[in-house]
Every structure is written in structure tokens, then in C-alpha cells.
Chains A and B, each alone.
Chain A
Amino acid sequence: MYNNALNLLAILILISSFRLVANKRQNGYITTFRLQSLLLALISLIISVKSMVETKKFDEVIIIFVLIVVFKVIVIPMALRKTSDKVEYKVEKDFFINIPISMLLCCGLVVLCWYVVHHVEGITNPTTENYLVYSLSVVMIGLFFMISRKKALGQIIGFLVIENGLFLAAMMTTDGMPMIVELGLFFDLLTAFLIMGIFVFKINSTFDSIDVNKLKHLKG
């Protein structure tokens, strides 16, 4: 029951990253990111509640649950929406590779991740192997999303999705990293997001657009 629920949620996270790649509009990216973060939050809730029921002690993962809900589900998507309203939001064609081919490439990435993880002999537990495949695939799809979009905002969302994949890996394979590391990760993520947001405004005001394709002055 417990494992089934976690497995289902992890698969849903993977599917949500496919949905991200299938999106055409910026507002769609933000909704998908919010959905994915919600799924991630559910996973952390299940893990922490189970551990609390079993050991009858306070489990630190619940703090991560609260942080994910507050920041990734509420604050960051709201800030992203505000940013996307303020900077140029008309997107004619935001991607370099069209969507059907992107989807096929992402499927290829999942197969590749499965292949790599399957060939690591030390991972003997099949559940862990599955979880690693899911989380590694989310990271790879996030990376692919970043390089296939032109707008700076798309790159930020790609970065956030990569971070989601990393959180998934940390939570599912090891039941959570030490608390100080998790908190540090969160703080880092938030700062990175803030700084990237400021730079989006700077790019927008200096280049009159957030098309990173225009950033071509430095070469060689």
C-alpha cells in the first residue's frame, strides 16, 4: 500500500514533466510546475507520516513538506506568474524543437536513464532502482526543457524541475538527507530563484526581450 502510493506519485511526477515539455505557453509551464511540486509534497508527507507512526517520534521530513508547500506550490509559482506578466509574455514560438519530436526525445531519455541505472550493479533493491530511474529522468527532462526553450523564464522553470528531480531522488532512495542539508538545499534553491528572477528583469530591460537567443555578444 505504502510502496504502491509512493510508486504511483513518483510516476505521476515523471508524467508531469512530460506535460511540461508538451506545453506551448508560459502560463502552462507554471501550472505544471505547481502540480509537480504538489505531488512532491505529497510524497514527503507520506514518508514523514509513515515514519512518525512507526517510530512514534517527530520526523524531520515533515518540515520539508511544509517548505515545499509554502515555497514551491505557493510562493514561487506566484512570483513566476507576476514576472511573466511584467516582462514580455507574448510567445509566438518559444521552442527550438517542435513538440512531437521533443516528446520522442524525452521518451528516449527515460530509456537511457533506465539503461544507466540498470547497469549499476550495486543497486540491488528493485524499488530503489525504479525510483532512481524516475528521478534521473525528471532531471534529464528538465535539462532538455532548458535547452529547447528560448525564453529566460522557461530556463528558470527547467532549473526548478531539475531541482524537483533531485529532491525526489534524495527522498525516495535514502528517506531524506540530513536535515541541515535539506534546509540548505532549500535556501540555496530560493536564493537561486530570486537571483535568476532579478536577472530576468535585467535582461528584459537591457535587451528589450527575455529571449535568451539574443544573448550572443560573447563568443570564442
Chain B
Amino acid sequence: MIPALIVIPILAGGLVWISKNKLFIHTINLIGAAGLLIISILSLIDINNNKVITSSGLFKNLFYMDSLSGYILFITALAFFLVSLYSISYFGQELKEKVITISKLKLYYSLSNAFVLSMILALTTRNMGVMWISIEATTLASAFLVGFYNNKRAIEAAWKYLIICSVGIAFALLGIILLFYSSTVKLGGARISGLDWSYLIKYAVSLDPSILKIAFIFILIGFGTKIGFSPMHTWLPDAHSQAPSPVSALLSGVLLNTAMYGVIRVMSIVNKCLGNSNYTGNLLILLGVLSIGTAALFILVQQDYKRILAYSSIEHMGIIALGLGVCTPISIFAALYHTFNHAMTKLMLFLATGNVYLKHHTKKISSIHGLIKTMPVTGVVFVLGTFAITGMPPFGVFMSEFNTVVGTLFSKKYLVTALLLIFLSMVFAGFTKQLGKMFYGRNVNPEIKQGELDIIGPAVLIVLLCITVLAGIYIPTPFKELMDNTTNIILGIGG
């Protein structure tokens, strides 16, 4: 199972270079993405039956999957498949307009496959060192994707992204070194398994609490930079707004989750070692509330619709951190569910902005009017997506945000609940005030013709809309079981 997950992106990323035919390149990538999706679903079924998947032979100590990795992997594969489908429409249009060339398209597909490969590695490995390497590799693989258009702004965003994330994540490595030090001192010189998180969780009680505390701070800062916690978030709005829309969707919907996964793994080790202490929880709640607040303030003043969505990603990562920090079964369930809902809704919105950008060639809110009339499908999906992401029922995000609020209330953190509700309403106000101008009114620009650009783009949007609505009203039983298992793993029950 796991070798296939690794081989497919390598093959797909390599095979796109053998032909110059546009159709061939799109098809190869799409087949690869579909293969990943199918295998991730198969491995989820396998995990539901056997609890864990391990590999044998040469890589015995390297690969390991449980419900948590399987769950995030499924989100990654689903998002990558939908983005691949959408890319056919997006880059097809850009090829037609001669914004990019065929070789640039090949580069995009190779890099996006490398990007997904690095995330798969981070999610399937059991070695914290390799996890760190893969998360750093995500930055490297996506730096060129952020600077894809090679203009001043794109290069500036890519440079910031590269430098801030590489340096930030260096701190996570320091934390991992400390973790390793603690395991060699307390558990004897087990070099091979000393960085193995499944081993560390098993013997967490005998690790040294004070070293683990400082290691967690380093790791939280390090991976937190990648997640986009405020105040380390400064690269995020730039990178997400300058990258091509399919890339922004991947960055926001998938990459942030992968970095969060790293934090979750370390959090469960430290929590088990410290017993009943709220140490990790308080830190996560602090960063979470800070991120939500920062995002809420900045959303109110943006003039660029992609930057608003980028700040909204910071906000949602804050909500997930809050759910994890409260650390009760209901709040962790909410955080996990929110991971899925945020990924799907943000994917929908970023892909919708892709359609808008292709048509209007501007990212400024003030120069777009009457979106619902000029682009019926994209416009409507965009409006509904705006409501979905701000947490209106009946969408999935409402469900998970509601659960987070209930979680904080049940654990008697009233101040946090109050702040969360205030910030959420600020976000809602910001979104409607800013984006509302784009949807209604009359189109004043005579160059913009009515109608969608093609079929595939809007079709992907409608699929995503269905998923987000469905997630708000119904959770299938296997999915619920999966999330319950994952919650238990994070809480350290029966894992």
C-alpha cells in the first residue's frame, strides 16, 4: 500500500516530460491523482480492519500508518484529485491565452506531484526526523509553484515563503533533536527507534518532562510557522495570494494540515508524558486565539480577494489549534472534522477565485461587480462558499465550529468561548462587507462577456459544493468510526 503511494507521484511527475501533447500531460497527472485517491481509500479500509499498516523489509522502521495519518492522507489525496481535475481547465485557459508555455505546464505538474509526494512521506513515516525532512521538502517543492508567474510580486512572495518557512522549521528540528536526546538519555541508546513516534508514545511516561516541555515549544514554533500561526504567519497571505489558484488551494487546504499533523504527533507524546497537565493545551489555545484574532482584524481591511481567503486560512488553523488545545473528546472531534471541512470549503473558494481571475485578470475587489450575473455558476458557488467558510448552517464548517464552541464551553473556558464568538462574528462581518461588493450590482466593464469559461472548472466547484453541504448534514458511519479512532489516538486511549 505505502510503496504505491510513494511510487505513483514519482511516476506521474516524471512521465509528463515524455510528450509535448497537452492532452497527454493532463491525462497522466489525472490518472496519477486518481490512483492516489483510490489507494488512500483502500488504506483507510485496511486501517479500519487492522488498526495500523506497517511496511516490511528494508523500510520496516520507516513507514507506519494509523487512523490519524490515514485520515489526513485521505483529505490530501481527495484535494489533489479535485485540484488536478481543475488544473485542466485553469492551465488550459492560460495556455490558450499564452500566459504559460507547454514546458511550464510540465513543470507545474512535476512540482505539484513532488509537493504531494513530500506530504505523503510526512504522513506515512514513523520517524520524526524523516517527518521533519518531508515537511521541509514541502517548502522546497512549492517555492517555485508560489513564484510560478515570475513577476515581481510572485518572486517576493516566494522568497519570503522560502526564507521564513525554512528558518522557522529549523526550530522544529532543534525540538526534535531535544526529543531524541531525551529518548537516548532515558530509554538507553536506541538509535534506530529513538526518533520513532510510535515508540516514543509507548514509553512517553519514562521520558524527561522538562526536556519535553522545551522541545514542544521549539516544535510548536517551528511547525507553527508552516501552519501559519500568528505572529509567524507573515509569509502566508503573500504566498497564498501570489500563487496560481490551484496551488493556493493545495497550500491552504492540504499543506497546513500536514504541518498540523506534526504538531499533533508531538502533542500526544508530550501530553502522555506530562499526565494531566494543561501545558500543551494552553500553548495551543493561546496561539489559536491569537491567530483567529489577527486574521479577523486583517480580513476587515483587505482589498484583494485571495488575501482575504489566505487570512481566513490562518483563522481556521487557529480554530483547529483551539480544538486540539482544549483536548476533550468533543473538541478534538471538532478539530478533526474542521480539518476536513476547512480543506474542502477552502478548496472550493480558491478554485472559484481561479475562475474569477481568469475572466477578470485582477485580484482587486473594487474592480469586480455583478459576479452572479456574469459567471452564474462560479458566482453562486462563491457566494455560498463565503457563507460556508464563515460558519453558516447548513455547511460543514458550521458543524465543526459549533462543536468547537461547545467544547470550550464544556471545559469551562468561558473567556476563550467569548473571544472565539467575537472573532467569528468579526470574520463574518469582514467577509460579507468585503466580498459582498463583488457579487451584486451590474457589471460595468464592457470587456467582460457573460458566461463561464468552460465546463470542467464549474463542474469541480459543484462537486465541492455538494461535499461541503453533505458534510454539514450527514456523517457516514465509517467516517464517524474513523474520526472516533483518531480522537482516541490523539487522546492516547487504547492506541
Which residue of the partner chain, among A174, A181, A191, contacts B181 with CB atoms under 8 Å? A174
Within 8 Å of chain A (Cβ to Cβ): is B62? yes
A112 to chain B, nearest CB (A): 14
Please judge, given known A-B contacts A199-B155, A207-B152, whether A180 and B181 are in contact too, CB under 8 Å.
no
Which residue of the partner chain, among B166, B170, B191, B209, contacts A122 with CB atoms under 8 Å? B209
Within 8 Å of chain A (Cβ to Cβ): is B6? no
* Bound CA–CA A173/B155 (angstroms): 38
Which stretch, B46-54, B94-102, B156-164, B252-260, touches the partner chain A? B156-164
Give chain B residues whose Cβ lies under 8 Å from the Cβ of A143.
167
* Bound CA–CA A210/B246 (angstroms): 30
Within 8 Å of chain B (Cβ to Cβ): is A163? yes
B387 to chain A, nearest CB (A): 25
Number of A positions contacting B (CB below 8 A): 43
A110 to chain B, nearest CB (A): 16
The interface bits of chain B over 154-197 (1 if a CB of A lies within 8 angstroms of the residue's CB, else 0) are: 01111110110011001101100110111011000001101100
Within 8 Å of chain A (Cβ to Cβ): is B307? yes
A185, A195, A207: which has the most chain B beta carbons within 10 Å? A195
Main secondary structure of the interface of B (DSSP, over half): helix
Q: For chain B residues 413-451, which have a beta carbon within 8 Å of chain A?
A: none
Q: For chain A residues 159-189, which have a beta carbon within 8 Å of chain B?
A: 159, 162-163, 166, 169-170, 173-174, 177-178, 180-181, 184-185, 187-188
* Nearest B residue (CB) for A124: B185
Judge whether B170 and A162 touch: CB under 8 Å.
Answer: yes
Within 8 Å of chain A (Cβ to Cβ): is B403? no
Which stretch, A4-12, A16-24, A63-71, A211-219, touches the partner chain B? A211-219
Which residue of the partner chain, among A159, A174, A218, A220, contacts B301 with CB atoms under 8 Å? A220
* Nearest A residue (CB) for B136: A188
30 pairs, CB–CB < 8 Å, chain A vs chain B: A122-B211, A122-B212, A128-B181, A136-B174, A139-B170, A146-B167, A152-B159, A155-B163, A159-B166, A170-B177, A173-B177, A173-B181, A177-B177, A178-B127, A178-B192, A178-B194, A181-B195, A191-B137, A192-B139, A199-B143, A202-B147, A203-B155, A206-B150, A215-B156, A217-B156, A218-B153, A218-B157, A218-B238, A218-B241, A218-B242
Give chain A residues whose Cβ lies under 8 Å from the Cβ of B167.
143, 146, 159, 162
B: contact size bracket: 35 or more
Residues on B close to A: CB < 8 A? Answer: 62, 127, 129-130, 133, 136-137, 139-140, 143-144, 147, 150-153, 155-160, 162-163, 166-167, 170-171, 173-174, 177-178, 180-182, 184-185, 191-192, 194-195, 208-214, 237-238, 241-242, 298, 301-302, 307
Judge whether B133 and A215 touch: CB under 8 Å.
Answer: no
Judge whether A174 and B137 touch: CB under 8 Å.
Answer: no
* Nearest A residue (CB) for B184: A174
Judge whether A192 and B166 touch: CB under 8 Å.
Answer: yes
Judge whether B137 and A122 touch: CB under 8 Å.
Answer: no
Give chain A residues whose Cβ lies under 8 Å from the Cβ of B171.
139
Give chain B residues whose Cβ lies under 8 Å from the Cβ of A169.
174, 177
* Nearest B residue (CB) for A117: B214
A204 to chain B, nearest CB (A): 10
Instruction: Please give me the 4 A-B residue pairs with the lowest Cβ-Cβ distance, nearest first.
Output: A181-B129, A122-B208, A122-B211, A184-B133
Give chain B residues whose Cβ lies under 8 Å from the Cβ of A155.
163
Judge whether A184 and B177 touch: CB under 8 Å.
Answer: no
Judge whether B133 and A185 touch: CB under 8 Å.
Answer: yes
